[in-house]
Amino acid sequence: MGDSTGFEIELGVGYEEAVERVTEALAKEGFGVLTRIDIHKAFKEKIDVDFRPYSILGACNPKLAHKALSARPEAGLLLPCNVTVEARGDGSLVRIIDPDEMMKAGGMDSDPTLAEVGREARDRLERVAAAVGAS
């Protein structure tokens, strides 16, 4: 699926359809998209550079976020879970962060509550990756 930082899914559909699929799959696992940064538009507006369609989606599961932030407010530095969608040839590429690895990298996995949140979020996002790849 990808390296230890996340899950990677290649799709044979266009960029906009990939964004829709990812958003729908996230919703089924309790994640909303809080932010959408369209990198290609930002690059064009800010530095007049043409870039392939590429978005960063900030996905958040409110129950998991509440649990994490209640245990350790600094966990907010690791939120939301980023998902990228980019045009690639005739298809698209989706990358989903592994929150369990994020907790480890942030040194917060020693807290049992955060370790649990990271595992649950990972399980949910792993199902998102599988659903996106299967649809």
| pLDDT single digits (tens) 72-120 | 999 999 999 999 999 999 999 999 999 988 888 878 889 999 999 999 9
Mapping DSSP to helix (H, G, I), strand (E, B) and coil, where does residue 91 land? strand
pLDDT at res. 2: 47
Question: For tokens 């369990």, what's the residue?
Answer: 100
d(CA 69, CA 74): 7
